[in-house]
Every structure is written in structure tokens, then in C-alpha cells.
Amino acid sequence: MERSGSGSSNLVLALAGVLALVVLGGSTPAGAQEPTLLPIVFVHGSAGSAAQYETQSRRFDGNDYPASLVRAFEYDSSFATNSFAQVTERLDAFVDSLREEHGVDQVYLVGHSLGTFVSNTYLGNADRAAKIAKYIGIDGSSNASCGVASPTLDCMGIWQGTNTTGNVGGNNIRLSPQTHVQVATSAESFAAQYEFFAGEEPETTLVLPEPPGTVTISGRAVEFPQNIGTPGAMLEIWEVDSSTGARKDAEPLAVLPLADDGSWGPVSVNGQQHYELFVLREGFLGHHFYFQPWLRSSSMVRMNLAPPNSQIVANTNLSDNHTAATVVRQKEWWATHSTGQNDVLEISTHSASRGDQPPVNALTRVTSNGVIGIHVHDAAASPGDSTLNLLPSFPPQAFQTGVDVFMPSAEPTDGTVSFVNAPRGDTSRLQTINVPNWRSSTSRATVAFNDFVQDINTWGECKRAKPSPCK
């Protein structure tokens, strides 16, 4: 079956009634047995992690498909610390552990990009394929026979709109205009995935806000792209002033040792507040991570750390005079897209001692529409000047680029670097993250924007909506 999609109007349809209670755990007809919701296993692609499924996990949870059933299988996609065969063996063990944990015979499998190659290899073994009830391949390797090894396996492909030949079992959806990572994280992709697994359209594709005091977060801090932990590291969680990025209190909200695999949490936070997650590792610069507020609980918070001998570290110009940051979003930054729906990422700095730097659009000279990570710092060749030229060592790396932006720093910090995103050029729904002007010689910073924008962003807004999607 071939289907096409051109936006939310084609995939995200309002339900005339409530989702079938038999699917979502309500009452069932007399004598009928309530079905079990199966765990979902997401297998990421190259340079990926659970971050590409964090938003989808929260969307599932908002549709009564508990986030505890939505899990990510993470591996070293560079294959520097594991072989391809070891990855498929680990995936099998992961699937078995979930089957045992939840008392089920089968799970659902979702592969994205390189993760579809891992998944197809896994499904090529009859014993392993028998553990999978349904499979979704997202914008990667075709699987026309749906694995062949299991005649009962049901499957579907989700593709960016420009891919007209990819085929997973003859059941394919093409989302246009969307790009490679976006088709894994978008609301339209979620709607298709939910309907395929649950048999009904979702009630909502929003990340439904929870009451602010009920939000918890947990996740991993890992070396990029190996997705391995960094033993001995510590995590501090600070509540910060959203207008400056400065820490509000003298002591952090929480101090947590990271487990050997980098995992931490859960920690209770306020779903309407901004936080800094600060990772300390012996022999490395302290790394500050800034996120937009967590509207809904998340167990897939990911923080990428530079491993020893990292090319990112080697190619980042460090100085007492400027801030260095990486700006990430699990949805490609468009700068020269044919639709004209290009993002705008304005960066400006206010410093009491160093003066102000006016806003500049960091995407001005970016030509790739496949970037999710943008490294910004002052280039050594043009100190003190935001030329917006591309930093040559970053574009060859997967899904990354680098831009020369001067953000004056101070010790102690005495100002704010503002990152303002107009997603797909929409200035009516700006996303803003402010951070202190840390010295790049002593600190690294990552600024992480949501891969979604929506009109309902607080519990109050959700309850006041008519009809209200919040329960």
C-alpha cells in the first residue's frame, strides 16, 4: 500500500470520538480480554541516540501509551567500540529483557537511518524476527519482504518526501516537505506510528503539558558518538533565570554521580522553569547543558560529551575572551530549502565589561539543510568578529556544521548570550534560550532546542482549551 503525506492535514485528523477503549486500557466488552500494549524499541541511526525519540516517547505517553513502554536501544554507530555483529546481539538481548520485564512474547521495533540496517539484519534471523510483532523503518534501508523470516510480521516505511523509491513491505508513507531526521521526530510521523501500533489515530500529537510539579526527568550523559558512559563523572542540576541563564540559587537542586553507563535520575523539576545540567569530569572542561522547559516528564534526556582525543575539541578555538557553544535540535536546520521555510537562529551577547554584540543569524552562510548540530565560536583567524564564515573542520562531520560567531566572555560571567530560533522562519513562535557568557577556556556549553513548536505549552493553557486534550 502506498500513501503520501504533505503535512499535518493529511495525517493528523481530529477524532470524532474517543480512542477505542480496548486499545487504551479502558473497559472491555463482557467476556473479552483486554489486549496488552507491547513495548516499543527504537534503534537510532548514525551519530544518533535516544534523543531522536524523546519527543515521540512523550507523545505516546500523552495518548495513554506509557513512556515506560517506549525504549531506545543505543550503540556506537561509529563501530569503534562494538562490531555490527555485536550490536545485533546486544539488540537481541535488549529485546529479550523487555519481553521478560513486561511478560510479553513480542515487541514493536522502530529503526531510523542506520538503525534500519541494524533492524533488517536482526529481522533476517527467523528466531529473532519471531520476537517482533510489527516493524517500522524510517528513512533508511528498504525491506520489501518485511523480513521474510516471519510470515506474521507486519511492517511499514516512513520516508522523507523526496525518497520516492524506498519500500518497506509495500506499506509506505512519504512526508513532504520533511527531511531525514525530521521524519523520525515530527508530529506527522508520530501519528502514523501510533496508528500503525495502536490501530487507531492518536487523540493528540501534542507533547501534552503535565502539572508543573509532577514532571520528572532522567537520562544519560554519554561520549559522542559512541554512546558510552564516562565513569566518575558528576551531574549538577541548577534552576536558572530564563532571561539571563544565571543560576538562581547558591546550591544546585541536585548533585548526582553518573552511573558507569552515564545514566542518572529521575529528578523532579518544575515543567515551566529553565534548568542548567552541568557535567563535571576529571581532566575535561565543565560542560553546561541548557534546555527549553520540560513540559512533560522525560526519561530520554541526552547530553553528548566530547570523548578523549575528540575532533570536536581539537577544532574548537578556546580562549579567555569568548564563549563556545553547540546548538542542537532533533530536526534539521533549514537555511536554503526550496520551500523558503528557512530557520533563523539569531545569536547576540550582552556583557557588562566587554560590551554588547548585536544579533547575527548563524545560518546566513550555511548551505546544507541536513544539519542538526551547529558549533559556534570565535574563529582564530578573525578574533573579535562575527564573520559568519563556516568553520572548515565541522561540515564534513555527520549532521554538523560550524560558524564563526564572536560571543565575548568574562570571569566571573557578567552577561548573557541569547539564542533565539524562529523555527522554519515563524517569528510568531520564537524559541529562546539564554546562557551566561562562560569562558571557552574553562567551560563548554550546549544549547538544546525542542524539535517541535505548539500552541499549548502550559498545564493551564491545556486545561483552558476547548475541548481540553489534558486529562
**Of the candidates 191, 59, 185, 162, which has an alpha carbon nearest to the alpha carbon of residue 112?**
185
Torsion over CA: 108, 111, 116, 117 (sign)? negative
Alpha-carbon separation of residue 97 from 39, 68, 133, 298 (angstroms)? 11, 14, 16, 21
User: Which domains does the chain possess?
Assistant: 2-198 (3.40.50.1820), 220-449 (2.60.40.2200)
Q: Which pLDDT does position 220 carry in this prediction? A: 97
Contact present, 423 and 429 (Cβ < 8 Å): yes
Q: Which of 345, 369, 370, 372 is nearest to 359 (CA)?
A: 345
Residue 263's nearest CA partner among 109, 45, 49 is 49
Query: Per-residue b/e over 362-394, b at no fewer than 16 CB within 10 Å?
Result: bbeebeebebbbbbbbbbeeeeeebbbbbbeeb
Alpha-carbon span 386 to 403, nearest angstrom:
9
Q: What is the 3-state secondary structure (H, E, C) of 283-333?
A: CCCEEEEEECCCCCCEEEEEEEECCCCCHHHHCCCCCCCECCEEEEEEEEE
Report yes or no: 215 and 269 within 8 Å, Cβ to Cβ. yes
Please give the grid coordinates belonging to residue 211: 502539572
Q: 340: left (phi > 0), else alpha (psi -120 to 50), else beta?
A: left
What type of residue is 184?
Answer: A
Question: What integer pLDDT is reported at residue 28 of this predicted model?
Answer: 42
The structure's pTM equals: 0.91
Rounded distance, CA 462 to CA 209, Å?
Answer: 7
Q: Do 460 and 470 touch, CB atoms closer than 8 A? A: no
What SS3 state is found at 101?
A: helix
Peptide linkage before 412 cis (omega within 30 of 0) = yes
Using DSSP, how many helices (H) and how many strands (E) does the chain show? 10, 22
- Separation CA 1–CA 156 (nearest Å): 9
Which residues 6+ apart lie within 8 Å of 235 measured at CB? 221, 254, 255, 256, 257, 258, 264, 277, 278, 279, 280
- Residues in the chain, pLDDT under 70: 1-35, 147-152
Phi, psi of 264 (to 5 degrees): -160, 165
Q: Round to whole Å and give the CA distance between 182 and 46.
A: 14
456, 337 contact by CB (below 8 A) = no
Q: Which three cell numbers stand for residue 449?
A: 532546542
Please state, in angstroms and rounded to a whole number, the distance separating the CA atoms of residues 214 and 230: 30
Strand, helix or coil for residue 232: coil
Distance (Å, rounded) from C-alpha 458 to C-alpha 48? 29
Q: Is 411 helix (H, G, I), strand (E, B) or coil?
A: coil
List the grid coordinates of 404. 564563526
For 359-371, how does the pLDDT look when each residue is reduced to its tens digit (9 = 90+)? 999 999 999 999 9
Which of 1, 84, 104, 80 is CA-nearest to residue 43? 84
What is the pLDDT at residue 13?
Answer: 35
CA angle 227, 233, 235 (to 5 degrees): 95
For 350, the enclosing helix (H) or strand (E) is strand 344-351
Handedness of CA 315, 316, 319, 321 (dihedral sign): positive
What is d(CA 171, CA 169) in angstroms, rounded to the nearest whole number? 5
Grid coordinates of 383: 578574533
- Supply the pLDDT for residue 231: 86
Residue 77: DSSP 8-state:
T
Asked whether 371 and 401 are in contact (CB, 8 A), the reply is: yes
